[in-house]
Amino acid sequence: MDREAYRRAFDSLRFSPDFQDRTEALLLEWVNRQEQEEATMNRKVFRRPAVLAAVIAVLMISVSAAVVLLNPSQVAEEVNDPLLAEAFQSEGAVLLNESVESESYRITLSGLVSGAGLSRWAEDVEEDRTYAVVSLAALDGTPLRHTDFSFGEYTLTPLVSGYSPMAVNNWTLGAQASCIERDGVVYYLLDTQSLEMFADHTVYLAFYQGFLPSRELFSMAEDGSIAFAEGIAGPHALFTLPLDESKADPAAVEDFLESSGINPMLGFGS
Amino acid sequence: MAPFGTEEAIRRLVETYSAMLLRLAATRLDSVQDAEDAVQDVFLKLLSAQPSFRDAGHEKAWLIRATLHRASDIRRCAGRIVPLETAESAPAREEAPENELLSAVRSLPPAYSAVLHLHYYEGYAIKEIAALLRLPAATVGTRLARGRERLRRMLKEDD
Q: What is the CATH number of the domain that holds A223?
A: 2.60.40.10
* Pairs of CB atoms within 8 A across A/B: 152
Q: Structurally, how many domains does chain A consist of?
A: 1
* Chain A from 216 to 255: CB within 8 A of any B CB: none
The amino acid at residue A213 is P
Q: Does residue A177 sit within a domain? A: yes
Q: For residue B49, which residues of chain A lie inside 8 Å, CB to CB? A: 166-167, 171-172, 262, 266
Query: What is the pLDDT, as a whole number, of residue B20?
Result: 97
- Structural domain includes residue A26: no
Q: Is the pLDDT of residue B94 over 70?
A: no
What pLDDT score was predicted for residue A145?
81
For A236, half-sphere exposure in the C-beta direction (CA atoms, 13 angstrom radius) is 23
Separation in Å, CA of B107 to nearest CA in chain A:
14
Q: Which site among B76, B108, B117 would you substitute to test the A interface, given the most A Cβ atoms closer than 10 Å to its Cβ?
A: B76
The CATH T-level fold of domain B83-159 is Arc Repressor Mutant, subunit A (1.10.10)
d(CA B1, CA A73): 44
Decide if pLDDT at B92 tops 50.
no
pLDDT value at residue A195: 94
Mention every residue, 6+ apart, whose C-beta is less than 8 A from residue A185: A67, A69, A70, A135, A136, A137, A143, A144
Question: Is B123 in contact with B142 (CB distance < 8 Å)?
Answer: no
pLDDT score for A80: 79
Task: Name the amino acid, one letter, at A67.
Answer: V
Residues of chain A contacting B109 with CB distance shorter than 8 Å:
121
Q: Cβ separation of B32 and A79 shorter than 8 Å?
A: no
The whole-number pLDDT of residue A39 equals 66
Give the range of the structural domain holding residue A214, as residue numbers without chain letter.
47-260
pLDDT band at residue B131 using 50, 70 and 90 as cut-offs: confident
Q: Do domains B1-81 and B83-159 have the same CATH topology?
A: no
Q: Which of A30, A178, A260 sits opposite B44 (nearest CB)?
A: A30
Q: How far apart are CA B55 and CA B132, in angstroms?
A: 13
Residues 6+ apart with CB under 8 A from A226: A159, A161, A165, A202, A204, A206, A218, A219, A220, A238
Give residues with Cβ within 8 angstroms of A261, minimum separation 6: B51, B52, B53, B54, B58, B62
Q: How far apart are the CA of B71 and the nearest CA of chain A, in angstroms?
A: 10
A131 is a domain residue? yes
Query: What is the model's pLDDT at position A137?
Result: 94
pLDDT score recorded for residue A64: 41
- Answer whether B89 touches A (CB < 8 Å): no
What CATH number was assigned to the domain covering residues B1-81? Answer: 1.10.1740.10
Residue A185 burial (C-beta neighbours within 10 Å; 0-12, 13-18, 19+): buried
> Minimal CA–CA distance to A75: which of A193, A190, A189?
A189
| From A176-180, B46-50, B84-88, B110-114, the region with the lowest mean pLDDT | B84-88
Report if residue A37 sits inside a domain.
Answer: no
d(CA B118, CA B127): 11
Residue-wise pLDDT tens for chain A (270 aa)?
788 999 999 999 999 999 999 999 999 998 888 777 666 654 443 333 333 333 333 343 444 445 689 999 999 988 878 899 999 999 989 999 999 999 999 999 999 999 887 876 655 555 688 999 999 999 998 898 877 777 777 889 999 999 999 889 988 887 877 788 889 999 999 988 889 999 999 999 999 988 788 888 999 999 999 999 998 989 999 999 999 999 999 988 988 887 777 788 887 875
Q: What is the pLDDT of residue A66?
A: 53
Of A19, A152, A214, the CB nearest to B36: A19
Model confidence at B147, in pLDDT bands (50, 70, 90)?
very high
Rounded to 10 degrees, the C-alpha dihedral B105/B106/B110/B112 comes to -10
The reported pLDDT for the residue numbered A257 is: 84
Residue-by-residue DSSP string for A41-62: --S-SEE-HHHHHHHHHTSEEE
Q: Which of A10, A212, A260 faces B48 most closely, judged by CB atoms?
A: A212
